[in-house]
Structure 1
Amino acid sequence: MATLTYVYADSTAVLGPLATYAEPHCYDLCAEHSERLTAPRGWEVVRLTVDTGPIRPSGDDLEALANAVREVARPPARRQDGGSEADPTEVGRRGHLRVLRTPDEFSPEG
């Protein structure tokens, strides 16, 4: 896969790595079409090296993933009465599920 960009004023088409954001006059091409690309007479085609190897995560990516996993695994702060500090109606939690008190259990009158 590659991104085709062109500049009419310079009569130049550039075929390079996939663009990371959308821009006017940019078109993503599959491998077959990028290999067969031709330009009109008088135009120059510049082919930049496209790395076709597998994309490997960087150290920053792995660290961000580890931090996210740690955050999800961290138990929520608990108050002495067993509720969550963030939500006074929460009695317990298991994964993404929460156990809540009924409204009369946590109301001042109840």
Structure 2
Amino acid sequence: MSHVRRCSRTPCGRRAVLTLTYVYADQTAVLGPLATYAEPHAYDLCEAHGERLSAPRGWEVLRLPVDQVDHGPSEDDLLALADAVREAGAPRLRPSADERRPVAVADPVDDPRPLPHAQPGLPHARQAPAARESTRRGHLRVLAGDPGPDGPGDPVT
């Protein structure tokens, strides 16, 4: 996804090519090539506004050299893109047998018996007498619903 950053000057809609930052401790305004990421403390400027930039009285403007030739993506960019495409195209691993087998799920509302790992005296450590079956697929589970007045229950997700 390519996102073109625009000049920070309100009425200007031209493409930004420079980034302006301030070094308050040195009273310096630094104007350099467009930063990789837009940041809240930096201002993106078009070429025209960058040329006309002036600093407050007592401040210095430091203009860093800007490479006017667009060399396209670097070798690191291309390698990262190739890795991302390779990873996205890799076959997905099927869930293991442990992830596909039904898992008992307890309803902790009505059973006074504590869970095996619970400490005695904790009222929230309860387990239901009848566990419902569920099917696990990756990080999702499908629970079998309780039968209602309309017949057998539908799966609850």
TM-score by length of 1: 0.54
Larger RCO (alpha carbons 8 Å, 6+ apart): 1
Q: Which runs of 5+ in 2 are unaligned?
A: 1-16, 101-157
Tell me how far apart the structure 2 counterparts of residues 65 and 8 of structure 1 sit (CA, whole Å): 38
Q: Which runs of 5+ in 1 are unaligned?
A: 78-84, 89-110
Taking a change above 3 Å as real, the CA distance of residues 73 and 37 of structure 1, as seen in their structure-2 partners, is same
Q: For residue 29 of structure 1, what is the amino acid of its counterpart?
A: L
Shift of 1:29: 1.0
Give the stretch that moved more between structures: 1-10 or 42-51. Answer: 1-10
Give identity over the alignment, percent: 62
Tell me how far apart the structure 1 counterparts of residues 83 and 56 of structure 2 sit (CA, whole Å): 51
RMSD: 2.6
Q: For residue 49 of structure 2, what is the amino acid of its counterpart?
A: H
Shift of 1:23: 4.8
Q: Deviations over 1:21-55 (max 9, x none)?
A: 4153x211111100111123332111001122214
Tell me how far apart the structure 2 counterparts of residues 70 and 9 of structure 1 sit (CA, whole Å): 47
Higher Rg: 2
TM-score by length of 2: 0.41
1:47 maps to 63
1:58 aligns with 2:74: yes
Tell me how far apart the structure 1 counterparts of residues 91 and 24 of structure 2 sit (CA, whole Å): 59
Taking a change above 3 Å as real, the CA distance of residues 60 and 86 of structure 1, as seen in their structure-2 partners, is farther
Shift of 1:66: 2.3
Q: For residue 52 of structure 1, what is the amino acid of its counterpart?
A: Q
Q: 1:13 aligns with which of 13, 29, 32?
A: 29
